[in-house]
Amino acid sequence: MLDLTLYMYDYDVAIIGGGPGGYVAAIEASRHGLKTALIEKESLGGTCLNNGCIPSKSLLKSAEIADLLSNKAKKRGFIFENLSYDYELIVNNSKKNTKRLKSGLTSLLSKKNIDIFHGLASFKSSNELNINEDGKQINITCDKIIISTGSKPFFPKNLKPNGKRIIDSDFVLNSKSLPESICIIGGGYIGIEFAYLYSSFGVEVTIIESSESILGFVDNEIVDELRKNFTKRGITIYESTKVEIIKETSREIRVSLLNSDNELEIDFDLALISTGRMPNTENLSLENSGVKIDNFGFIKVDKSFKTNIENIYAIGDVIGGSMLAHKASEEGSKVVDCILDGDFVNSEYIIPACIYCQPEISYVGISEETAKEMKIFYRVSKYPFKANGKSLADDNVSGFCKLISDKDDNILGAHIIGKGCSEMISEITLVMQNKLPLESVINTVHPHPTLSEIFLETSLNIVDKGRNS
């Protein structure tokens, strides 16, 4: 006799990873009435809240204040004799902000119909998970599973942090003192932000980047402007330079460098390894689920975030692309839509990015270099911060906004360097995401004086170019 009994799962949806992608997915799933489990092996909020975006931005704000008081206050008429600061208090304050936000997140999740497990999840099959919660083994069955385990720092074999003089970003966020000199190995997001941080507190900073340029994914003109600003700050930058070896003594480290010109040996107090991130898939026992990964360890998904296994999805850093918290959050929301609508195909969405050094950098869409490689028609317009009333009033005149458009004045990319530009990029993203013509920007009243007028003026320039061509 045929058994028609429906197999009942413990959960409609189980999410592995409680970072921005995971907890957004859990909230959305619960909101739609799905019985939901959220599994996090460490702290809710993931890397961004606990060891990344939030604590680092708090430290960077303190660095900005230190920079202002040390280098710009006198010009404004403020004179400080024997200026000093309590760096331990600065670090402790950043932790308070993290604690406050974590408490808010925990409170929010507790109000939802979500079962939260604090433990390490691994696959027993495509529908079954084992959770190691403080030594207690818990097995749950799930109709759908979302992998949102994020990423972790990547370290080359010859460059491993030891928590003493060779350090990683976690050390920076928790250290209660400052070195006299530091070597930052890697010129990406993290390396650039920490270079600004240390420099603002008077630390001698050297950046070593193995590729041709720091921030190799950013428009060349923006990088040139940042390089100029960093050089003025006394930051030394080596590009196309490899670290051969790091020798550590009780009092310092000696870094051996190799580039096309020569070999160098330089002594520093600390070396910060900031060489990128890799997908966090260890200990998941993916082989038991059948989920495929690529050669770099990223989980393969289609446009609906579905893996090669019908009921298993993946979002966030673990699938590659831009490793940004807001990208993961957006995917956390969209993946639930995909689960609820089996035929749903994820629409394209545009992800802006910001780098919180000073001057700030923000960008969205393609660079001019990419436009050239694509061999497409494009126009470029630039507008300087020094021509903006708000920037002049704030004495932050370094930088510019750069727009790239097609022949019909649709924005292909926007690249900005200047203080406050992280607050400008959303309007541009809105225009691009909704395929609005630049005329819509021009016809919108922008308050004066504000930084938003920079985008308005750049848009006017590019439309005028089109009219006169």
Question: Looking at the annotation, which residues are catalytic?
Answer: 448
Q: What are phi and psi for residue 310, nearest 5 degrees?
A: -55, -40
Nearest to 449 by CA among 365, 371, 393: 393
C-alpha to C-alpha distance for 124 and 41, rounded to whole angstroms: 17
Alpha-carbon dihedral sign for residues 305, 311, 317, 318: negative
Residue with tokens 């689960």: 339
Residues contacting residue 269 through CB under 8 Å, at least 6 positions apart = 165, 179, 180, 181, 182, 252, 253
Q: Are 340 and 32 a contacting pair, CB within 8 Å? A: yes
C-alpha to C-alpha distance for 436 and 409, rounded to whole angstroms: 9
The answer to whether the peptide bond before residue 153 is cis (omega within 30 degrees of 0) is: no
Residue with tokens 């430290």: 59
C-alpha to C-alpha distance for 414 and 425, rounded to whole angstroms: 8
Q: Are 146 and 16 a contacting pair, CB within 8 Å? A: yes
